């Protein structure tokens, strides 16, 4: 449990750090096409889901719950922050992003689950 909480914290802080860096360097993504950006993001979240599956401990169902929490927390933090901000035009968009990211990360975790050796009980 403690290890899973530490892994959750590290993955969430890592995701928030990547978002912060991307906002600090706005010109980085502008030169890429929309399809290229979407492909890179999907690939990153698939890889993150697979890595998270390997880092978390427990039965597969428990790992999937931890991975869903890992994917859901950054958009929820963003929504809480936006409540105090001035941009109300996109309020609630974080929840849509959260669902999409959770699904993509769980697909990555399912791929890692299928490729990893089965544990003996």
Predicted model pTM: 0.78
Place of tokens 């993504």: 29
Report the pLDDT value the prediction gives residue 120, as an integer from 0 to 100: 58
Backbone angles phi, psi at 37, to 5 degrees: -60, -45
* Average per-residue pLDDT for the chain: 84
- Per-residue model confidence (pLDDT) at position 19: 79
pLDDT at 80 > cutoff 80: no
Contact of 68 with 30, CB cutoff 8 Å: no
Q: What is the pLDDT of residues 9-42, one digit of tens each?
A: 999 998 888 878 877 877 777 777 888 888 988 9
Can you say whether the dihedral through the CA atoms of 66, 70, 76, 77 is positive or negative? Answer: positive
Q: Which of 16-25, 39-48, 79-88 has the highest mean pLDDT?
A: 39-48
């Amino acid at each position: 449990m403690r290890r899973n909480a530490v892994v959750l914290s590290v993955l969430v802080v890592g995701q928030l750090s990547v978002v912060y860096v991307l906002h600090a360097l706005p010109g980085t993504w502008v030169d890429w096409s929309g399809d290229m950006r979407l492909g890179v993001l999907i690939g990153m979240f698939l890889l993150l889901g697979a890595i998270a599956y390997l880092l978390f401990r427990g039965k597969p169902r428990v790992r999937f719950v931890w991975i869903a929490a890992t994917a859901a927390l950054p958009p929820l933090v963003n929504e809480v922050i936006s409540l105090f901000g001035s941009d109300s035009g996109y309020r609630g968009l974080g929840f849509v992003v959260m669902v999409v990211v959770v699904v993509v990360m769980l697909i990555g975790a399912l791929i890692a689950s299928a490729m990893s050796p089965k544990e003996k009980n």
